[in-house]
Each structure stands twice: as C-alpha cells, then as structure tokens.
C-alpha cells in the first residue's frame, strides 16, 4: 500500500509512461477490434460486416488446427524453458567453481538473431545434407528414426517449438539460479540438521520460497509463447500444409499474404482474449489460500471504513 497522497505528483509520475503505453498498445488494439468487424482488402473503402469475420473464424478448420498447435507449442516451449532452466539452475547451485563463466555462456543463445537461429536449426534437422540430429541418430544406431524433421507432418510442430524453447532456456536458468542462491542458507541449514534430505529441502523449502519468481517467469514465458512468431514463421511458415501453423502465423498470413485485414484482426482479437484467459487462470492457481484470505480481509476492512465515513 502506498503512502504518498499527492495526486498531482501521482499524475506527473504516471502519465508519461501511460501515454506511451496507450498510444503504442491500446490504440492498435482499439483499431484491431474495429477492423475485426469490417471487410477490407487494403484498397478502397472498409465495409462493415458485423460478426461475419468471427463466424467465419469458428467455421475455419485451420483456425482450430492453429489453436491446438499453439497449445502443444506452448507446452513444449514452457516445459523446456522452465523445467530445463530450473533443473540446470539447481545443478548449478552445487557447483563451486566457474559458476559465473557457465552462467555467462548459457545466456549466449539469447543474443543471436532469429535469422541465424532458424538457419542453424534448418541445417540441424535436414537429411540432405545429413544434419546433426540425423547424424547423431545414425551414430547411435537409430537409423529408422532418421527423417526430415521440418518436412514431416508429425514432427514439424515439435521441430519449430524446440528452437524457441532452447533459445531462452539460459535466460530463465540465470534468473532461477539467482533466486536460489539468494535464499538465506540458515533457513534450510536448520532442516538439514534435522535430517531432511536434499530433495526434501529442494521441494519443501526452496521451491515455495521462490514461488513468486516462478510465477513471474511462468507469466513471461507463457505470454512469450502465445505470441511466438518469428521462428515458426521463418522455419516453415506454418507448413507443411498447416502442420506447424500457430495462431500468430495464421493471423499474419491472413492479414498480410491474403489481404484479409478484417479476418486477420478477428484472429488477433482472439489471441488477446486467449492470452488474458491463460494469465488469469495462472494467477488463480498461484494465488494461495492465505493470499485469498488476506485479500478478503482487506476488502472487508475497506468496506468497514467506507461505512464509517
């Protein structure tokens, strides 16, 4: 709860940021919503069509494919970034030397441009010339699994998800590591004395203590994955067929390749709503019972105060 009551100062601090935000984010949203009720090919006048775009959307098979794909993409990316990131952060806490160096190097993939990453993975996945992944499979005797991962309908989606996950794993690892080492050792040293195992300490003590960080990173990486665009777009542009189509690539294609700006905007509005739902659910799940209790108390006090006035 704040302490300063000066309203003018409040506005002076808030408004510059708020204005930038409204202009860059809200104005386009408002325009998108407006456009989602129009039919417009980019030339000539816009034509108001009511809910036609939304109706078309719910009759569009590709829309459902993209939606499902997006969920799978989400699961792969998030589990890579969080699970792998967290796992290595924990391992790293047991390291005593060269920690800084390792951390620094883990972070490096974040710095590389998408164009380079996509070309790298295209080479890794390919069969002609034999890419790294397939060379590896051959080396361990799994010749039967050798395939062109990006061209195969059943593997394309996973193949475009992995680079995105891989890219930011290091960043999340650094954040988790930072959170873990900053914990006060006395808290779990006591548990150790009481005979708790390392695993128990990890799950019963350390994890709950960094819960807030996990929520923050989960939000970052979920919304990041829902907006995921450039790697899938550059690697397969949704193909083969629509096997690796995501909501965002489909929206982009509809608006900019097919010139259906209205329909594209309807898809955009759907993505926004979808993202809000996900984040809302996340908050609900993570808000513990005590927090809810505390909030209710707070509300009751407020009401009390209002009545007193």
Q: Please report, as residue ranges, which positions from 158 to 177 form the binding site for another protein (by CB under 8 A).
A: 166, 169-171, 174-176
Determine which residue in the list 67, 109, 204, 207 makes contact with another protein, applying CB under 8 A: 109
Q: Which residues pair with residue 48 across a beta bridge?
A: 38
Residues 192-231 that bind another protein (CB under 8 A): 212-213, 216, 219-220, 223, 226-227, 229-230
Q: Of 159, 157, 270, 171, which Cα lies nearest the Cα of 216? A: 171
Q: Does 20 bind another protein (CB under 8 A)?
A: yes
In whole angstroms, how close is the CB of 165 to another protein at the nearest point? 12
Both tokens of residue 1? Answer: 């709860």
Nearer to another protein, 88 or 188 (CB): 88
- Write the CB contacts of 129 (distance below 8 Å, at least 6 apart in sequence): none
Residues 51-80 that bind another protein (CB under 8 A): none
Q: Which residues pair with residue 39 across a beta bridge?
A: 47
Stretch that binds another protein, among 5-13, 75-83, 187-195, 292-300 (CB under 8 A): 5-13
Determine which residue in the list 75, 105, 281, 285 makes contact with another protein, applying CB under 8 A: 105
Q: Does 150 bind another protein (CB under 8 A)?
A: yes
Instruction: Specify the 3-state DSSP secondary structure of 48.
Output: strand
Position of tokens 């890219």?
167
**230 burial level (CB within 10 Å; 0-12, 13-18, 19+):** middle
Nearer to another protein, 75 or 91 (CB): 91
Instruction: Specify the 3-state DSSP secondary structure of 244.
Output: coil
Interface pattern 275-294 for another protein (x via CB under 8 A): xx-xx---------------
Position of tokens 């202009």?
23
């Amino acid at each position: 709860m704040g302490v300063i009551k000066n309203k003018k100062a409040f506005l002076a601090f808030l408004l510059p940021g708020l204005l930038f935000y409204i202009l860059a984010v809200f104005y386009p949203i408002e325009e998108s919503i407006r456009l989602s009720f129009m039919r417009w090919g980019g030339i000539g006048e816009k034509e108001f069509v009511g809910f036609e775009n939304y109706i078309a959307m719910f009759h569009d098979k590709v829309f459902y494919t993209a939606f499902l794909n997006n969920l799978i993409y989400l699961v792969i990316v998030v589990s890579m970034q969080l699970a792998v990131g967290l796992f290595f952060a924990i391992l790293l806490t047991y390291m005593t030397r060269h920690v800084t160096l390792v951390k620094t190097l883990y972070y490096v993939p974040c710095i590389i441009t998408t164009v380079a990453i996509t070309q790298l993975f295209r080479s890794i996945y390919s069969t002609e010339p034999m890419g790294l992944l397939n060379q590896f499979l051959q080396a361990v005797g799994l010749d039967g699994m050798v395939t062109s991962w990006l061209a195969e309908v059943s593997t394309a989606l996973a193949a475009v998800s992995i680079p995105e996950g891989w890219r930011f794993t290091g960043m999340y690892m650094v954040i988790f590591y930072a959170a873990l080492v900053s914990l006060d050792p006395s808290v779990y040293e006591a548990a150790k004395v009481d005979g708790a195992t390392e695993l128990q300490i990890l799950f019963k003590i350390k994890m709950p203590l960094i819960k807030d960080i996990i929520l923050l990173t989960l939000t970052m990486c979920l919304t990041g994955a829902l907006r995921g665009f450039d790697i899938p777009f550059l690697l397969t542009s949704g193909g083969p067929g629509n096997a690796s189509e995501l909501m965002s690539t489909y929206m982009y294609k509809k608006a900019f390749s097919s010139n259906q700006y209205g329909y594209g905007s309807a898809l955009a509005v759907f993505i926004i709503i979808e993202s809000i739902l996900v984040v809302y659910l996340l908050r609900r799940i993570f808000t513990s019972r005590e927090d809810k209790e505390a909030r209710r108390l707070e509300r009751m006090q407020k009401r009390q105060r209002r009545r007193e006035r």
